[in-house]
Amino acid sequence: MSDLAKTTRMTRQKKLILEILRGTNTHPTADWVYEQARKVIPDISLGTIYRNLGHLKATGEIMELSYGSTFSRYDGNPQNHYHFVCKRCGRVLDLDLPVLNELEEQVARRTSLQVTGHRMEFYGYCRECCREEKEES
């Protein structure tokens, strides 16, 4: 973490990875970013993807999302916002809900813990999966 933070050099690879993340709202996996990046830099390596995702996360330019699955998803929008996660297909959607920052103070006051942030996600079934579940029965 501390040595990741000193990363400062802007390479083609890092720039491309950030552009790919900023250009989607699908909260992609590292592997999806890799596939997209290869269309522009064919011999880019997965290690470089992970290293740069780490750097971008350390500098607060992106967020890493980990919701129970075995892999992480990444979000090009670094501002706190809430997500909906489909329990069937794993899709992650942005929610247009006000962020409850006052809760952080409330927790800090009531517990005397030092609170720096919070996260909230909703679970359920997305439109596509609701439809398909009906069709299967």
Partner DNA sequence: ATATCTGCAAATGGTTTGCGGAGGA
Partner DNA sequence: TCCTCCGCAAACCATTTGCAGATAT
Asked if 58 interacts with a copy of itself (CB under 8 A), we say no
Residue 111 or 137 having the CB closest to a copy of itself? 111
Candidates 3, 43, 96, 102: give the one binding a copy of itself (CB under 8 A): 96
- Count CB neighbours of 31 within 10 A: 11
Q: Using the structure block, give the residue that is written with the tokens 């500098």.
A: 59
The entry of DNA, a copy of itself, none near residue 116 (CB within 5 to 8 angstroms by kind) is a copy of itself
Residue 21 or 63 having the CB closest to a copy of itself? 63
Closest CA to 34 of 18, 17, 51, 54: 17
The entry of DNA, a copy of itself, none near residue 135 (CB within 5 to 8 angstroms by kind) is none
Asked if 71 interacts with a copy of itself (CB under 8 A), we say no
Contact of 70 with 76, CB cutoff 8 Å: no
CA distance 11 to 47: 15
